[in-house]
Amino acid sequence: MPRVTPRPTPLTPAARLQLMWLASPALPVGGFSYSEGLEAAVDCGRVTTEAQAAAWLRDQLMLSVARADLAVVARAVPAWQRHDLARVRELNDWVGHTRETSELRLQTEQMGRSLVEWLRNRGGLARTDVGDDRLPQCAALPPAPTWPIAFALAVAQSLPTPMATADGEPALREALLSFTFGWAENMVQAAIKSVPLGQSAGQRILQSLIDVIPDAIDHALTLPDTQRQAFTPMLAILSAQHETQYSRLFRS
């Protein structure tokens, strides 16, 4: 007889709301305090208009986020779900080792630690299953849990297994939408403050990012470990310059 594949567990409204929560700019992890090199690009005259800001962020999404952090989250969520700490450590090490400046490394470590602290303190909403020691394992990752790895744990605690919605859409894709939209909102706010731009311009930039986010996620989901990369030379140069920039709004 043919093998019957079990129907995927539906993504519940509560789980979907958890993913929306993780995308919120109000999440107390400090993402709003970083510009990821954008403020330095403004300072040196590379980004001075709405069109340039939109193009800069679209390029950063496709050339940096999709090929690095998004791909890591896509692998780390199932690793956390199957309690594969060795795989989680491997991915966390990769994130730390591929940050090209001190500023970018400190950002991912600070945001990772903050998310772990939020997961620890959210009380009854946190998973407290007997024998589930993933949160202390994440907190103990050396030298720190990075942002994509901590985010992946938050997702793994929120989503059912297997990860799919009732209509067959992988729930992992929804998790990556949450991660990417949270990044996009923070970066648009950075553009509004640093260029500076108006709120309407910010909404247009956000729409331009939304238009390409699905393609970025498709790429991240199919990217093998051997093709994952974080090679963005100009972004690294600008980030390094931002560390000593005389006047700045954003953290370094």
Q: Which residues pair with 47 in a beta bridge?
A: none
Residue 160: band (very low, low, confident or very high) from pLDDT cuts 50, 70, 90: low
Look at residue 78 and tell me whether its pLDDT is greater than 60.
yes
Residue 158 tokens, joined: 């929120």
The pLDDT assigned to 191 comes to: 97
3-state SS of the chain is: CCCCCCCCCCCCHHHHHHHHHHCCCCCCCCHHHCCCCHHHHHHCCCCCCHHHHHHHHHHHHHHHHCCCHHHHHHHHHHHHHCCCHHHHHHHHHHHHHHCCCHHHHHHHHHHHHHHHHHHHHCHHHCCCCCCCCHHHHHHCCCCCCCHHHHHHHHHHHHCCCCCECCCCCEHHHHHHHHHHHHHHHHHHHHHHHHCCCCHHHHHHHHHHHHHHHHHHHHHHHHCCHHHCCCCCHHHHHHHHHHHCCCCCCCCC
The pLDDT assigned to 164 comes to: 47
The pLDDT assigned to 158 comes to: 84
Task: Please name the amino acid found at residue 197.
Answer: L
The pLDDT assigned to 171 comes to: 86
Residue 104: band (very low, low, confident or very high) from pLDDT cuts 50, 70, 90: very high
pTM: 0.91
Computed over every residue of the chain, the mean pLDDT equals 89
The pLDDT assigned to 183 comes to: 97
The pLDDT assigned to 15 comes to: 86
The pLDDT assigned to 53 comes to: 98
Quote the percentage of the chain above a pLDDT of 70: 88
Quote the percentage of the chain above a pLDDT of 90: 77
Which of 93, 83, 158 is CA-nearest to residue 119?
Answer: 158
Q: List, in order of start, the domains of the chain with CATH numbers.
A: 37-238 (1.10.4190.10)
The pLDDT assigned to 132 comes to: 80
